[in-house]
């Protein structure tokens, strides 16, 4: 299951990603926010979404704030979360293959929906390679 989260600055892009996931029949839970009007706080949504992501190891989060930086910092406060801010499909692929990232973070204010959706597709379809990468993850 996909867990979606954003603050007001990520709301619009989250809605686009939600539409894409719906179209693909991919189940997504949106923990908020639910409007672009409120100046709300990304740590609140990262925390709520982290809890949901960790309910099942197959879950994946997609978190969005203005830059993606705040959501990344907030999400990674939880030791079991590996959140990766991905600005390209290449980084999204490596974040899954090598870092076993369980949360994709995107910048709502500077990324167009078309590019974001390409990144989401790669993130959701790339498997962790294990091996030497698993050894490194154990050291985190
Ligand atoms: C909200 O204005 C903005 O600070 C937030 O979305 C994010 O970019 C923080 O890193």
Residue 25, phi then psi, degrees to nearest 5: 60, 35
Confirm if 62 and 104 have CB atoms less than 8 A apart. yes
Q: Which residues line ligand 1 (CB under 6 A)?
A: 7, 9, 42, 65-67, 69-70
Residue pLDDT tens, the chain, 140 long:
999 999 999 999 999 999 999 999 999 999 999 999 988 999 999 999 999 999 999 999 999 999 999 999 999 999 999 999 999 999 999 999 999 999 999 999 999 999 999 999 999 999 999 999 999 999 99
Give the Å distance between the CA of 88 and the centre of ligand 1: 20
Q: In angstroms, rounded to a whole number, what is the distance separating the alpha carbons of residues 140 and 41?
A: 27
Q: In angstroms, rounded to a whole number, what is the distance separating the alpha carbons of residues 36 and 33?
A: 8
pTM beyond 0.75: the answer is yes
Q: In angstroms, rounded to a whole number, what is the distance separating the alpha carbons of residues 140 and 127?
A: 20
Nearest to 20 by CA among 126, 135, 113, 140: 113
């Amino acid at each position: 299951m996909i867990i979606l989260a954003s603050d007001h600055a990520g709301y619009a892009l989250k809605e686009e990603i939600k539409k894409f996931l719906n179209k693909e029949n991919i189940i997504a839970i949106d923990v908020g926010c639910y409007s672009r009007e409120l100046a709300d706080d990304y740590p609140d949504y990262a925390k709520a979404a982290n809890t949901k992501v960790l309910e099942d190891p197959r879950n994946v989060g997609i978190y969005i704030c203005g830059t993606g930086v705040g959501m990344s910092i907030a999400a990674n406060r939880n030791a079991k979360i590996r959140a990766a801010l991905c600005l390209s499909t290449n980084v999204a692929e490596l974040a899954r293959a090598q870092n076993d990232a369980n949360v994709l973070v995107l910048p709502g204010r500077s990324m167009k929906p078309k590019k974001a959706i390409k990144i989401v597709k790669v993130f959701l379809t790339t498997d962790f390679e294990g091996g030497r990468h698993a050894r490194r993850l154990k050291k985190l």
